Structure formats: C-alpha cells, structure tokens
Amino acid sequence: MSEQLERGKRKRAQVMGQEYVDRAFSGDPEAFGADYQRFLTEYAWGAAWGRGNLTDRERHMVTLGILAALGREREFEGHVRATRNTGVSERDLSDVLHQVAIYAGVPAGLSGFTIARRVLGEQE
C-alpha cells in the first residue's frame, strides 16, 4: 500500500470516522468499485486533505460549501455528520451556507440548511 494511501486512510478516518472507512474498504478488494475507493482515498484524502496550510476545520468548511453549492446532498449530509470531528461549529456551518446562498444561489443554501438542520437534530 502506498504511503499516500495510508495517509489518506488515516485522514479520512480522522474526519469521517473509522467506521466509515472500514465500510468503504469492506468486501473483496478486487470487486467492482474497490479500485475507486483506493483512488478516492489516495488522492482526495491523502493528497488534497493531506496538504499543509489549511487546517482540517478550514478545509472542511470549503468542502461543505462546495458540496452544498453543487447540490451533492448525500455527500454534504455525510460531511455535516463529520463536523464534530473537525471543529466546524453550527455557527461556522451557518456562515458557510450563507456564502453558498449568495454565490451559488438561494435554493442551494436552503437545501444545505434543510439537510444540516435534520442531521444536527439527529445528533442531539
């Protein structure tokens, strides 16, 4: 296993939770899609999330804003759940979604608030 993949697995587990990573890598490593999980973990989590300069909190706020702006609701929901692991507060998330509404459109911001409200309510 490459060093970047190992770094990616550690970072992904730190942000999303070990259970999440275990599910992503469960099953036959030769099955359809398994190579995609390795690719995603190596490059998104090992290379991008593993870069310096931005803190995990800052990088997570950028990620949340992009996912909300693009309407990637399933991924956004998972990352809202993970905010407790990166120090993104409810106020931070609200501020991100206000930015999304201004720069990507009110419907994108509203959808983000709807999902975040539900997920945060489930966590209480």
pLDDT of 124 reads 79
The whole-number pLDDT of residue 6 equals 95
Report pLDDT for 44. 96
C-alpha gyration radius of the chain: 15
Enter the tokens of residue 83.
């905010």
Convert the pLDDT of each residue in 31-82 to its tens digit.
Answer: 998 999 999 999 999 999 999 899 999 999 999 999 999 999 999 999 999 9
The contacts of residue 80 (CB under 8 Å, 6+ apart) are 64, 93, 115, 116, 119, 120
pTM given for the model: 0.92
The closest of 101, 89, 85, 102 to 114, measured between CA atoms, is 101
Give backbone dihedrals phi and psi of 80, rounded to 5 degrees, phi first: -65, -45
Give me the half-sphere count of Cα atoms (radius 13 Å) on the Cβ side of residue 101.
14
Q: Are 84 and 122 in contact (CB under 8 A)?
A: no
Structure tokens at 30: 């030769």
